Amino acid sequence: MVRWAYFLSREEIVSLHKKHGGKRGNFDPDNPYDFDHARRFIFKYLLPNPVKAWYASLDDEDGIVFFVGLPLPEPREAFTNKYANRCYKMFGRAPQWSTVVPNSLNLHWDVYGSDKKDHRLELVEYLGSDRDGDLYPLAEGDGICDTPSAT
């Protein structure tokens, strides 16, 4: 299976939150509340399109991975141009393609970046999706996804 992924370290996710006008928190990547505010901000921006968010580590660096689009090998089929443009506006780059490591219960992925090297992504905790909503909402009702998934 192929997934399109954006991995963001703690520093990157908080920096993006601030850059795009986030208002909550002190923008401290070492503060778990600021880190979570940034994750929610980006997650909500990507909705209602297909997205899954996980707390993860990439080569032993903690952060968040956003799997965007459908699990298809061809990016033109995985997500629409409108969604691709939306992702590019947020992240400033194309997603990395990733493949699941066999016999890892879909918790380990090989991620291929622009450097043509594979990196090991380990999924630690599922945080939400366009279908499930945010599993750790800030306020009541934030965790419920009331818009249908775009396909």
Q: State residue 37 phi and psi, 5-degree precision.
A: -60, -45
- Model confidence band, residue 100 (pLDDT cutoffs 50, 70, 90): very high
Residue 82 has pLDDT above 60, yes or no: yes
Instruction: Say if residues 9 and 16 touch (Cβ distance below 8 Å).
Output: no
The rounded distance, in Å, linking the Cα atoms of 37 and 22 is 8
- Beta-carbon-side half-sphere exposure of residue 121 (alpha carbons within 13 Å): 31
Model confidence over 15-72: pLDDT tens digits?
Answer: 999 999 988 888 888 898 999 999 999 999 999 999 999 999 999 899 999 999 998 8
Mean pLDDT of the chain: 87
- Distance, C-alpha 15 to centroid of its chain: 15
pTM exceeding the 0.85 threshold for the entire prediction: yes
Instruction: Give per-residue pLDDT as tens, 2-13.
Output: 899 999 999 999
User: Alpha carbon of 88 to those of 6, 18, 84, 94, 104: distances in Å?
Assistant: 10, 17, 6, 6, 30
pLDDT higher than threshold 70 for residue 124: yes
- 49 φψ region: left (φ > 0), alpha (ψ -120 to 50), beta (else): beta
Structure tokens at 131: 């279908």
Span of 18-22, 32-36, 78-82, 141-145 with lowest mean pLDDT: 141-145
Pick the more confident residue, 143 or 7: 7
Q: Phi and psi at residue 35, in whole multiples of 5°? A: -60, -45
Give the per-residue pLDDT at 72. Answer: 83
Rounded to an integer, the average pLDDT of 60-86 is 89
Q: What is the rounded distance in angstroms from the CA atom of residue 29 to the CA atom of residue 50?
A: 26
